[in-house]
A and B are shown apart, each in its own frame.
Chain A
Amino acid sequence: MDFSVVIEYFPRLLEGAWVSLQLVMISIILGGIFALPIALARISPIGWIRAIPFAYIFFFRGTPLLVQIFLVYYGASQFDAVRESFLWPVLKEPFWCAIIAFTLNTSAYTAEIFRGAIQAIPHGEVEACKVIGMTKTQMYRRVLLPRAFGIVLPAYGNEIILMLKGSALASTITILDLTGMARTIIARTYTPMEIFIAAGVIYLVISIVIIAIFRQIELRQNRYLGTLSIKVPDKG
């Protein structure tokens, strides 16, 4: 194996990695925004309101991401109505199709994570807030949301890693993300092993950085737990 080709094409791989990061960041942010109402509807006391997010979540978690991407990218263009609509400039761009598919997908997973977190807060804490005389806004701002945030963090970190790995599928609809770029380079140099391994190492580094960031946030967020394993930074 000849790794000089990796050095030669490394800047191109980094370009691809940047596209992957953009895909992940945009979908995670949009997905997070959509996930909250979906999660709240999912725990609604009214049956039919619960049913809609249930079906949505079931579909997006039960089918492969690849199918979802193809449905958006190739599927949407099957209908003349879509081709003639104002949405077409967005839907003909592979990048935005990938964003749409990833956002729908990750919002389904994230909604389940949020639901779990909201349901995990003991009811006694809600009652305690009321007894102290907090308003509803105060209760959410001071107690429930920070608590849910702390509970959500580990699972949310995992979801971002899964999204990063899922973003490789963008390469199947001609996007030059890290995997797509690697495949393009290989088509020119025919050195699949070297380039794919280099791409794998870049993905690994990105995952490790994400994990490290989340571990830091988690330590900060859950510092009230005061476990011995969690170090409190010295003051002064």
Chain B
Amino acid sequence: MIDLHGFGDQLLQGAVVTLELALSSLFVGLILGLLGASAKLSSVRAFRWIANGYTTIIRGIPELLTVLIIYFGATSVLMAIAGLFGYDEYIEVGAFAAGVTALGLTFGAYATEVFRGALQSIPKGQHEAATALGMGPIRKLYRIILPQVWRIALPGLGNLFLVLLKDTALVSVVGLDDIMRKANIAVSSTKEAFLFYLVAAFMYLALTIISMVFVSFMEKRASRGLTRG
């Protein structure tokens, strides 16, 4: 049996933090993605510009740099805002909050494109049919558009979640106690780098497999109304 020198529990705790970070970022990212896609398809030019700027910038710079910018930048931005209200104590943004913001922004930028594609792939006739049945815009969105968008976007979002899961490792660079940092700690005290990084790798692999199974279950569920043939 592999001897983890008692660091097994630590690594499992790290896995919990990794999962929390991934799920929180997913939540933020899905909201940003829906907002971004609506903005890109909006008839207001300013919204389209903002959304295009957002996706271009976030997708063009490394995730590590996004994490670093948010981690170091959020403190100065928050302190500047707090300064306006006459509060001049030191505010520190934690690694977890910075990680959720950075990874949520990243996920959101990619999800924007996925949602935009899904929204555009719904035939105009469906919109017209819903209106003809007397549905208002909100009811149409909830009953007709979103369930289909969800089904079409799910495979793309699933892939993005797998990317997000791996990107969580970057937040260890700013000191979040995730799998990666727990492995670093274990390595620095046992000097068995290969062993612990390999264990970490397999933990990420396990999380990836679990997510894949879950996504394919969701995909089946989302397309249960679809008859083939």
Contacts and interface: CB of A to CB of B under 8 A. Distances in A.
A196 B193 contact: no
A18 interface: no
17 contacts: A58-B205, A62-B205, A63-B202, A67-B180, A70-B183, A71-B193, A71-B201, A161-B60, A165-B62, A165-B63, A172-B173, A182-B65, A193-B73, A196-B69, A200-B65, A200-B69, A203-B60
Contacts of B194: 71, 74-76, 78-79
Interface of A: 58-59, 62-68, 70-71, 74-79, 161, 164-169, 171-172, 179, 182-183, 186, 192-193, 196-197, 199-200, 203-204, 207-208
A166 B172 CA distance: 15
A67, A161, A167, A183 pick with most chain B CB within 10 angstroms: A67
B205 A204 contact: no
The majority secondary structure among interface residues of chain B is helix
A200 B201 contact: no
Contacts of B73: 192-193, 196
A122 B181 CA distance: 48
A58 B205 CA distance: 8
Given A75-B193, A78-B191, A196-B73, A67 B201 contact: yes
B187 interface: yes
Interface stretch (B81-89, B116-124, B162-170): B162-170
Interface of A is mostly: helix
B180 A66 contact: yes
B208 interface: yes
Residue among A66, A75, A165, A192 having the largest count of chain B Cβ atoms under 10 Å = A66
Interface in B55-78: 56-57, 59-65, 68-69, 72-73, 76
Given A59-B205, A193-B69, A203-B65, A208 B60 contact: yes
Contacts of A203: 60-62, 65
B195 interface: yes
A98 B120 CA distance: 41
